[in-house]
């Protein structure tokens, strides 16, 4: 399958600072990227969907001003957690999909980024 990478794989930051997480599709062009969050022992929760060149669509209850998503190119999306607080500590996972009419649009996941806010 196709490869999706995330950087960094883990990050520790102080409360009040902002953290940027990158998601890249390495061998395909991702017209759509998704961001998920996962707390310990819980399932993945979809945060937002972004299409290249468009504003992200956020799921209900996700603060768009706190979780800034940019999908400026077909191979890169970024998630910025602004003014991070300890409750934002979580495992953030991105996934990417090449959307083509009539084709099977499989979704590939990155390895995740573990964010710890002190």
Partner 1 sequence: DAKTTQPPSMDCAEGRAANLPCNHSTISGNEYVYWYRQIHSQGPQYIIHGLKNNETNEMASLIITEDRKSSTLILPHATLRDTAVYYCIVRGQSYNTDKLIFGTGTRLQVFP
Residue 89, beta-bridge partner list: none
Cα separation, 102 vs 94, in Å, equals 24
Query: Which of residues 29 and 105 has its CB atom nearest to partner 1 in the complex?
Result: 105
Taking CB under 8 A as the criterion, the residue among 45, 62, 68, 76 binding partner 1 is 45
What the block records as the tokens of 1 is 């399958």
CA angle centred on 14, ends 41 and 70, rounded to 5°: 75
Cα separation, 29 vs 99, in Å, equals 9
Q: Is residue 24 a contact residue for partner 1 (CB under 8 A)?
A: no
Q: Is residue 98 a contact residue for partner 1 (CB under 8 A)?
A: no
Query: Which of residues 7 and 82 has its CB atom nearest to partner 1 in the complex?
Result: 7
What the block records as the tokens of 22 is 């990158």
The interface with partner 1 within residues 25-44 (CB under 8 A) comprises 34, 36, 43-44
Interface residue list for partner 1 (CB under 8 A): 1, 4, 6, 34, 36, 43-46, 49, 91, 93, 95, 105-112, 114
């Amino acid at each position: 399958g196709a490869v999706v990478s995330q950087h960094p794989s883990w990050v520790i930051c102080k409360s009040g600072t902002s953290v940027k997480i990158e998601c890249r599709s390495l061998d395909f062009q991702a017209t759509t990227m998704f961001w998920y969050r996962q707390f310990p022992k819980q399932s993945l929760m979809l945060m937002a969907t972004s299409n290249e060149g468009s504003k992200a669509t956020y799921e209900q209850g996700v603060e768009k001003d706190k979780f800034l998503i940019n999908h400026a190119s077909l191979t890169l999306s970024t998630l910025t957690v602004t003014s991070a607080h300890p409750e934002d500590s979580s495992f953030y996972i991105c996934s990417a999909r090449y959307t083509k009419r009539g084709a099977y649009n499989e979704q590939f996941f990155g390895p995740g980024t573990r964010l710890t806010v002190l």
